[in-house]
Structures are given as C-alpha cells and as structure tokens.
Structure 1
C-alpha cells in the first residue's frame, strides 16, 4: 500500500494504497449516524456486518485506481467470520463507533492467514507496507483531536509487540514474522496502552474500528480470516 494508512488530519486516514503521498479525508466520511456504542461489554464487532449490503454504521473506503480488497462475511462451525482476500488490491472496511476507552478498552480477536504476502520488499518502507491482515483504528479525545493507528500481522521483519513506524504513524505488531499460517491465533490488545504509545492525550474514545488488508504496493496476493472480535472491560 504505498502508504495508505488513512491518516486523517482530523480523520486520520492515510491514503496510500497505491496513491502517492498523504491526503486528508474529512471526518464526516466515517460518520454514519449509527455508531456502534456500548458501556458494558463485550461488544461484538461482526454481529451486524453484511458485506453484500453494507449498512448499520459500516462503510468501505476505496482508493482511486486501486482494486478494492474482497471482504466477505462467512461462517465456519457456527462462528461468524470475515474473510479478507487481496490481489494487488486495497480498501478499508470500517465501523463507525462511539466507545469510551474508560469503559471498553480491551480489543480481543482471533485471526489466521491462509495465504501470506510473498515479496522481497521491506515492510518497514512505504513500498513494502502491505499486510494480509490488519485493523484500522481511530481515536478522538474530548477536544476533537484525533489519532490513527493500525494493528498488523507482520510479513517477515517484526516480532510481536514491536511497533512499525512509518513517518509518524504507528503500527502495532500482534502476530510476528514466525507466526504459523493456516492456524487460528488468539490476540488481545489494551487500547489504552496503544493510545498512550502513539502519543494520545486527553480522554479517548474509539470512533472508527475496521479492517485494512492490502497488497497493492507489493503487487502480491493474500488471504485470511478474522473472527470473535470484541471490545470489553478490563478483568480487574
């Protein structure tokens, strides 16, 4: 994704996905009038997603002259899943949210890669900034200031817990270079810690949460699945 990260300077959207440089997307793009809300969890992200007819606060951000990612809701053994398939493609599928990190800061999920990105390009550069699975997040504080970040499955370079930083944009590595493919991996991230690590200040709310699976910079292919995505209160 030639640095697509949709960094809204007020909406933190980084346009890259094959588009040179950063462009600013105005905040109303993600505002649907139907945000996902909750003060006591767990709140499940995928329950109201229908990829064949987006609604209920979901939107897809596509990029000029870039083939969009194929996002498809499916089920396996009764579990609701999102499949993300790329072929030199990229787009963001995201949910409008309004959730205070003081209430539901724990993001938990299960994911697996079935086709990893194969490329010689360095994933720490804009040219190699593609990942088979990634979350896109945006936070806002009480003054309206926003911060964006992503949670990624690293290709070959990073270990779990690392931050990949391109420019000033932070990507938290959840699965590392040695993670097995075709295997489900359970993950948990405290978004309060992520918010502090990326320089966030004030009282944060999560106002966008979605998916940004891509291979348009490298021209590669990828395939993978998300399931059991929840936001919940801390255990203590």
Structure 2
C-alpha cells in the first residue's frame, strides 16, 4: 500500500479517534477574507477535543503528544514525538481557487537527527508537517505534505517518495531551529506543479502531522495557527 492510500485510509477512520458523537461538520467559506482552520493561540480542553478538530492515529504507531503552552512568549501548541506519529487536523469543504493561500506560524525546537537519508522511505520523518488533502470535481483524491526539511531539503524544494509529493517550506539548516517563522504559501501553485490536470479541486482536510517512527528518534515542534486566505 502506498503512502497516499495509507493516509487516506487513516483519515477515513478518523471518527474512531476523534471527538465523541457525530463527525464534525467541515469548515466552509462564506466570503470571508480569512478562514481560521486551527487556532492554537488560545488554550482549549483536549479531553474531549474541540468538536471541530479530528485526530487520526495509525494502528501500528504510538501517537504524538500535544499540549498547549507558550514558547518564547508565543502562545501555541507543542507537538512531541518519540518513535511515534499521528495527525491532528480539521475537515474542510473549501474551493481551492477561492482560498488558495495557506498561512501558519511554526517553530522546531528539537529537529529530527538521523543518519538515514530523508530521501528514503525509512528516513521519511519530519519534526513538523502539514498534510493537505483535496478532491477533484470527478471525486479523485489528492494529497501532499508541506514539511520542515531535516538536512537534505530546504525551502522551495520538492521531495518525492514513491508517488507522494512533499513541498519543503522551511528547515534544512540547524541555524533555523529554535526560531519562529510566519509562512505564506500558495496551495494552488503547488497543486499545479504536482498535478498538471487542469482540475479545480476542493480542500477536504488540513492536519498537523509530526512523526519520528521510521528513524526511531524524537522531535518537538510548535504551531501557533493555521489559516486559509483569499488571494
């Protein structure tokens, strides 16, 4: 089973691990300039989760740990892995053409340190990722990841393992660890780079995805917010 199939299968089972009760209604756009996907700057109860958040865990992996806190004076959520992996996200029903800009704020406190190349499946761990899933008008699923590079990938570079694409938004340099970065990315440009099909897809899910399960290492990352914006 390829990576895309594993991820989509895990998302399909998200209700098993998400909040109790009915599956949350997806976030939709109503003409606002900005849509807050997840705001980690204000602490909320996590047991149970806020009713519009969904956690997705792999049956064969220990999940990451997350908690609200403050780092360098910035209120945020702390995500820690220790030979573990899971996702925390939100379901969407958003026209990518209407809200193509993704903005977020993140910091890597403890990076992935491994001798295994991150170009290989067995080295495919990153201290911070954002998983983006979409669906075409024909109902075909699409997914890619936005990653913090370890040593071999820096901002603007693509990593492809099998048929799965990763866009490196930051990282790849030890000097960048321990610093907050405000990011802005055009998701439609990334889609067109990966899939040259002329489709106008809809966003279906965005999740924080931190993992260190392949390299048996540890990582810590912080996220402050994730927002979708009009151009």
Fold similarity call, TM over 0.5: yes
Q: Does the Cα contact within 8 Å between 1:85 and 1:224 map onto a contact in 2?
A: yes
C-alpha contact 1:34 1:56 (8 A) present in aligned 2 = no
Specify the alignment match of 2:78 in structure 1.
83
Gaps of 5+ in 2: 16-22
Q: 1:46, 1:81 within 8 Å by CA — same for their partners in 2?
A: no
3-state SS of 1:192 partner = helix
Structure 1 residues 74-223: aligned runs within 5 Å: 74-75=69-70, 80-178=75-173, 180-199=176-195, 201=197, 202-223=199-220
Cα RMSD, aligned residues only: 2.4
TM-score (ref. length: structure 2): 0.85
1:94 Cα shift? 1.8
The DSSP-based 3-state class of the residue aligned with 2:220 is: strand
C-alpha distance in 1, partners of 2:10/2:201? 19
User: Runs of at least 4 residues of structure 1 off by over 4 A?
Assistant: 75-80
Deviates more, 1:207-216 or 1:73-82: 73-82
Task: For 1:168 and 1:69, locate their aligned partners in 2 and report how far apart those are by CA, in whole Å.
Answer: 25
User: 1:110·1:187 contact (CA, 8 Å) conserved in 2?
Assistant: yes
Counterpart contact for 2:39–2:226, Cα < 8 Å: no
Q: CA deviation at 1:176?
A: 3.0
List alignment gaps of at least 5 residues for structure 1. 15-23
CA distance in 2 between counterparts of 1:135 and 1:64 reads: 20
Distance 1:75 1:227 in 2: 10
8 Å CA contact retained: 1:51, 1:73: no
How many aligned positions are there? 218
Distance 1:25 1:228 in 2: 26
Where does residue 233 of structure 1 map in the other structure? 230
Q: CA deviation at 1:58?
A: 1.9
The equivalent residue for 1:40 is: 32
Structure 1 or 2: more helix by fraction: 2
Aligned-partner Cα distance in 2 for 1:50–1:214: 23
Alpha-carbon distance between aligned partners in 2 of 1:131 and 1:4, rounded to the nearest angstrom = 18
Q: How far did 1:75 drift? A: 4.7
TM-score by length of 1: 0.84
Distance 1:175 1:227 in 2: 16
Relative distance call for 1:81 and 1:192 in structure 2 (3 A) is same
CA shift digits 1:185-235 (9 cap, x unpaired)? 12111011111122164221110100110001100000010113211011x
Superimposed CA distance per residue, residues 27-76 of structure 1 (whole angstroms, 9 cap, x where no aligned partner): 64358341111142311122387533224332222122321101223356
Secondary structure of the corresponding residue to residue 212 of structure 1: strand
- Aligned mates of 1:77, 1:159 — CA distance in 2: 24
SS in 1 for 2:38: coil
Tell me which moved more, 52-61 or 199-208.
Answer: 52-61
3-state SS of 1:25 partner? helix
Task: Tell me the secondary structure at the aligned position of residue 146 of structure 2.
Answer: strand
1: CA distance between counterparts of 2:119 and 2:52? 32
